[in-house]
Chain A
Amino acid sequence: EAGVAQSPRYKIIEKRQSVAFWCNPISGHATLYWYQQILGQGPKLLIQFQNNGVVDDSQLPKDRFSAERLKGVDSTLKIQPAKLEDSAVYLCASSPRDPQETQYFGPGTRLLVL
């Protein structure tokens, strides 16, 4: 079974630029999550999708972050414009239905904002 795929693996941008990350979850998984992991901290949930719909985006900085999940499969997370404090690893995860089932994480995208 293929795991969660993410791209790119690394990205370096200057502040105020835009950036987008892509995630392909495990086939058949209804729930998709984006997490932000700042160095030295645990992952923090940014947004949770159930199929096409947003279940929880309470911790997403909506003035600069946006995410969509087209057709309930792939998802993109965008930052526009980026700030220095957005430097982090962005992790995508998926689960069959909800977090009380195991979440499977992708390798993450490491973002550095200069």
Chain B
Amino acid sequence: DQQVKQNSPSLSVQEGRISILNCDYTNSMFDYFLWYKKYPAEGPTFLISISSIKDKNEDGRFTVFLNKSAKHLSLHIVPSQPGDSAVYFCAASGGETSGSRLTFGEGTQLTVNP
């Protein structure tokens, strides 16, 4: 039962353009969402999060949007830089069954071309 899905395994964008990474979830009890970035041979690093009481959170070049009715969140990176090339995971937590446990999506490999 894949409760968090990232349907695009990969995304390629040009430097300076916008990168949009998408994530869908099925558990309506999730109330906290996060994005992590992972470089090869390293552990994931926290990027940005959003609570279900908000629909947008911004941190520098990174903005996360949450659409609760569609059970969809997205990460926007503007402008994209070559150093942003990494695997991006979305994660969610909340609800009686999952509680504080983080459930991760499969990840999207972002490549930013110079």
Interface of chain A: mostly helix, strand, loop or mixed: loop
Option from A40, A104, A108 in Cβ contact (under 8 Å) with B106 = A40
Count residues on chain B whose CB falls below 8 Å from chain A CBs: 23
B43 and A42 within 8 A (CB): no
> Is the Cβ of A56 less than 8 Å from the Cβ of B101?
yes
CB-defined A-B contacts under 8 Å, sample of 14: A40-B106, A41-B106, A41-B107, A42-B6, A42-B107, A43-B89, A45-B101, A45-B103, A99-B101, A99-B102, A100-B100, A103-B46, A104-B46, A106-B43
**Complex contact B41–A99 (CB within 8 A):** no
Is A87 engaged at the interface, CB distance under 8 Å to the other chain?
no
A42 and B105 within 8 A (CB): yes
Contact among B44, B46, B93 with A43 in the assembled complex (CB-CB below 8 Å): B44
Given known contacts A99-B93, A100-B32, A100-B93, A45 and B42 CB-to-CB distance under 8 angstroms: no
- Which residue on chain B has the smallest CB distance to residue A105? B43
- Cβ of A42 and Cβ of B100 under 8 Å apart? no
Given A98-B100, A99-B102, A100-B93, A42 and B45 contact (CB-CB distance below 8 Å): no
Give me the interface of B with A, judged by CB distance under 8 Å.
4, 6, 32, 36, 41-46, 49, 89, 91, 93, 99-107
0/1 string, A102-114, CB within 8 A of B gives 1? 1111111000000
A79 interface residue per 8 A CB criterion? no
Contacts of A103 in B (CB 8 A): 46, 102
- By the criterion CB–CB under 8 Å, are B104 and A42 in contact? yes
What is the interface of chain A, defined by CB distance below 8 A to chain B?
4, 40-45, 48, 55-56, 91, 93, 98-100, 102-108
- Docked complex Cα distance between A47 and B90 (Å): 20
Chain B residues near A98: list those with CB within 8 A. Answer: 100
- A48 and B93 CA atoms in complex are apart in Å by 14
| Distance (whole angstroms) from the CB of B7 to the closest CB of chain A | 13
Q: Is the CB of A42 within 8 A of B41?
A: no
Among B32, B43, B93, B107, the residue within 8 A (CB) of A91 is: B43
Contacts of A40 on B, CB cut-off 8 Å?
Answer: 106
Q: Is the Cβ of B100 less than 8 Å from the Cβ of A107?
A: no
* Highest count of chain B CB atoms <10 Å: which of A4, A44, A100: A100
